[in-house]
Structure 1
Amino acid sequence: MQVFIMVAGVFTGAHVWRETAARLAAAGGEAHAVPLTGVDPARPAPPDGVGLETHIEDVIAAIDAVDVTSGREIVLVGHDYGIHPVLGAADRRAERIARVVYLDCGMPQNGVPALAAVPDQELRAELAERARRGERGGVLAPPALDAEWERWGSTAGLGETELKRLTSSATPQPLGTLLQPLRLSGSVAAVPVTGVLCTENGAGIASVQRLVDFGDPALAVLAGPRVTFFELPTGHWPMLSCPAALADVLLRAAAGAGHRLRAPGDDAPPAHLRPFPWDLPELPRDRRGPVDLYVPDGEGPRPAVVFVHGGPVPAGARPRPREWPTLVGYARLAATEGLVGATVEHRLHDIADYERAAADVASGVEQVRADPRVDGDRIALWFFSGGGLLTTDWLAEPPAWLRCLAAAYPVLAPLPAWGMAGSRFHPARAVAQAGDLPVVLLRAGLETPEIAATVEEFVTAAEAGAARLEVVDVPHGHHGFETVDAPEKTRPAMRRALRTVVTHLTA
């Protein structure tokens, strides 16, 4: 059996692992929750302060306390911030570690502080500015109210008792633990890893597979033979919301079980690079900087549909989104209807990039409108997936020339793990201001639960605000249905949505 050494996230001490540890022990394992200096009462902060290195030493001490003659393998489990000291310790004791478990957390990199993983973007910017001014001491106060925990992750699955326990036992986080860079030699890269994704917090195995499929070399390691994944249908604190299920997953992870991702190039092409469900004329692409135009033969100017890809898409992804079959296919399909089809490249590479991406889209749209082949007073915008948040500005203040806004399987409110609770990019809040702007929503019937919840929020708000919303359902469609599902299941809805957009453009 294994020895599980578990490290908690920000503001939470070793106590949060109590139920999970008990279940691991009952299954014959050995479990130790590491008390972190300056966080757990058992280890008060020293006079010279606490940094990430302090917590790395705490984890190393727990590793070294395991009897090397026992023959038991050590599995390190890092939740949230806890993955940073776990990786730092594993890098220095790699020969002792059988597996590292990433529990609902990011992938820390050498030289990057834990601050980069703080989900609340406003708080992250504030702390970065304090660090720039040299203010590296002190502590970060924990949430004082139960509702404030949503800034740090989804509280789905937590009952009132668990949520109050989280708040009442929370302790301040030493700022040095968030600001001190993680230093790795590379030894930890040889240790097998398992990712446990809490789907109610906004990420699942399918979304990670999509990131790998995008072709960024930096993410190829996730499809390696020593990497496995599990999902838990809960929020960000599974050790409190479902400790039995978490213990079961940890035991299975320690045994090397779990889902393995498909590497790029294996077998069939990834979903986003499969063929578009229509055989369309090979209309030439007219590339003008960040904009690609597909212009039908004949006299102009013509109405245009600008297709806006989703994301975040890693900067290293190849081919680029505007070259994907779906974007090219829709643009050419629009051209068969006598419209100019346009695709716009934008820089949504990370959750923090929405402001930049919105500016890219606005600039690209103006470029399309200025083209002499385009009727700049008859424009439709069509958004996909994570690009759905970019509809916000157009819904809140629709210009007179915008005749229709469409969205396919969109994200229409920030997902819990994105740390955007106070962000302006929230279409479900903006749709009430859309006025007479026609909105066409292509809704995937088999959408992932976390995205489906944002769509439902948007539809409810649109109905309450008397928005001109037309929902076109694709009952058997998944996220990205154009290249994922059988054409006979998707084409009727796609055609209906396009014809609706054409009607609004040509009326």
Structure 2
Amino acid sequence: MTHFVLVAGAWLGAWAWDEVAAGLRSAGDEAHPLTLTGLAEKRGRAAGLQTHVQDVVDEVERLDPHEVVLVGHSYAGIPVGQAAERIGGRLGRVVYVDASVPRDGACFLSGWPSDQVRRSIARNDGFWPPLDAAEFAGQGLTDEQIARIVSAGTPHPGASLTEPARLTHSPAELPTTYVKCLLDGPEPSAEVAALLTSERWRPAELDTGHWPMFSQPRELVRILRESAV
């Protein structure tokens, strides 16, 4: 039995993992979807990146498993990757699901044109509003899935996107699986490609878009379970 801590990306909470969590549990594993501070049922609370790192660390300490698989989707890869090096021997594996990977001194918005996002955060009292439905097109989602994401999504705490990551070691040193969602781009970023040369990193692919917990939950469950072996 494996303990999975599941953390979704921007605008999403624990609810985003409903189908994946059910699939893991039906296979005999433990699934622990986590809502980060400021999102979903915790919405409206200001939170920086280190708050989200501590959310993940606190959840692992609460569960106190012998080994845990930390799963970070999209933005959540950045707090999950930092938490992974802070939980010591409790870590079994990190799984990045089409995710950003932390780099010491860099933030989520580093390395891509982010002026529009920063202006949006400034206009919305420090929060990044969810995307419109049209922006989910071409990602393998049904109209119903898009409607669910848009209706349940909540503004994301902007400080968590602009605060730099703090790492002691390279993510390459930790046992890791990186899941690339091909409709979101056929190749990983140059940074991820470099990390995948590490002996401790394994690649995986899903022929779907950036939100596979909705578009291909069964296939994602399969990859998560295979990653824990």
Task: Give the letter for the 2:116 counterpart.
Answer: E
Deviations 1:119-145 (A, max 9, x none): xx3xx12345789xx9996111112x3
Measure, in 2, the Cα distance between the counterparts of 1:103 and 1:220: 17
Gaps in structure 2 of 5+ consecutive residues: none
Task: Give the letter for the 2:24 counterpart.
Answer: L
1:196 corresponds to: 179
Assess, with a 3 A threshold, how the Cα gap between structure 1 residues 161 and 109 changes in structure 2: closer, same or farther. same
Q: Is 1:146 equivalent to 2:133 in the alignment? A: yes
Measure, in 1, the Cα distance between the counterparts of 2:228 and 2:74: 19
Q: Which SS does the other structure have where 1:194 is aligned?
A: strand
1:125 corresponds to: 115
Aligned positions of 1:462-473 closer than 5 A: none
CA contact (8 A) 1:75 1:100 kept: yes
2:225 corresponds to: 251
Q: What's the CA shift for 1:115?
A: 1.4
Assess, with a 3 A threshold, how the Cα gap between structure 1 residues 253 and 82 changes in structure 2: closer, same or farther. same
Q: What's the CA shift for 1:159?
A: 0.9
1:425 corresponds to: none
1:93 corresponds to: 87
Measure, in 1, the Cα distance between the counterparts of 2:54 and 2:149: 25
The root-mean-square deviation of aligned C-alpha atoms, in Å, is 2.5
1:469 corresponds to: none
Aligned positions of 1:106-505 closer than 5 A: 106-116=100-110, 121=113, 124-128=114-118, 138-143=126-131, 145-150=132-137, 154-156=138-140, 158-186=141-169, 189-204=172-187, 220-255=194-229
CA contact (8 A) 1:94 1:188 kept: no
Measure, in 1, the Cα distance between the counterparts of 2:118 and 2:133: 26
Q: What's the CA shift for 1:67?
A: 3.0
TM value normalised by structure 1? 0.42
2:73 corresponds to: 79
Measure, in 2, the Cα distance between the counterparts of 1:9 and 1:168: 16
Task: Give the letter for the 1:126 counterpart.
Answer: Q
Q: What's the CA shift for 1:85?
A: 1.1
Measure, in 1, the Cα distance between the counterparts of 2:150 and 2:4: 26
Percent sequence identity is 37
Q: What's the CA shift for 1:108?
A: 2.5
Assess, with a 3 A threshold, how the Cα gap between structure 1 residues 137 and 96 changes in structure 2: closer, same or farther. farther
**How many residues are matched?**
229
Assess, with a 3 A threshold, how the Cα gap between structure 1 residues 167 and 67 changes in structure 2: closer, same or farther. same
Deviations 1:246-280 (A, max 9, x none): 0001000111xxxxxxxxxxxxxxxxxxxxxxxxx
Task: Give the letter for the 2:183 counterpart.
Answer: E
Q: Which SS does the other structure have where 1:11 is aligned?
A: coil
CA contact (8 A) 2:78 2:100 kept: no
Task: Give the letter for the 2:2 counterpart.
Answer: Q
Measure, in 2, the Cα distance between the counterparts of 1:163 and 1:136: 23
Q: What's the CA shift for 1:106?
A: 3.1
Measure, in 2, the Cα distance between the counterparts of 1:161 and 1:126: 28
Q: Which SS does the other structure have where 1:168 is aligned?
A: helix
Assess, with a 3 A threshold, how the Cα gap between structure 1 residues 100 and 249 changes in structure 2: closer, same or farther. same
Deviations 1:311-330 (A, max 9, x none): xxxxxxxxxxxxxxxxxxxx
Q: What's the CA shift for 1:179?
A: 0.8
Aligned positions of 1:65-76 closer than 5 A: 65-68=62-65, 71=66, 73-76=67-70
Q: Which SS does the other structure have where 1:116 is aligned?
A: coil
Measure, in 1, the Cα distance between the counterparts of 2:147 and 2:123: 31
Measure, in 1, the Cα distance between the counterparts of 2:22 and 2:120: 40
CA contact (8 A) 2:117 2:128 kept: no
Measure, in 2, the Cα distance between the counterparts of 1:29 and 1:168: 30
Deviations 1:440-480 (A, max 9, x none): xxxxxxxxxxxxxxxxxxxxxxxxxxxxxxxxxxxxxxxxx
Assess, with a 3 A threshold, how the Cα gap between structure 1 residues 202 and 80 changes in structure 2: closer, same or farther. same
CA contact (8 A) 1:39 1:172 kept: yes
CA contact (8 A) 1:101 1:194 kept: yes
Measure, in 2, the Cα distance between the counterparts of 1:136 and 1:51: 16
Deviations 1:86-118 (A, max 9, x none): 012112113211111110123321111111266
Gaps in structure 1 of 5+ consecutive residues: 213-217, 256-507
Measure, in 1, the Cα distance between the counterparts of 2:160 and 2:120: 14
Measure, in 2, the Cα distance between the counterparts of 1:185 and 1:88: 9
Q: Which SS does the other structure have where 2:224 is aligned?
A: helix
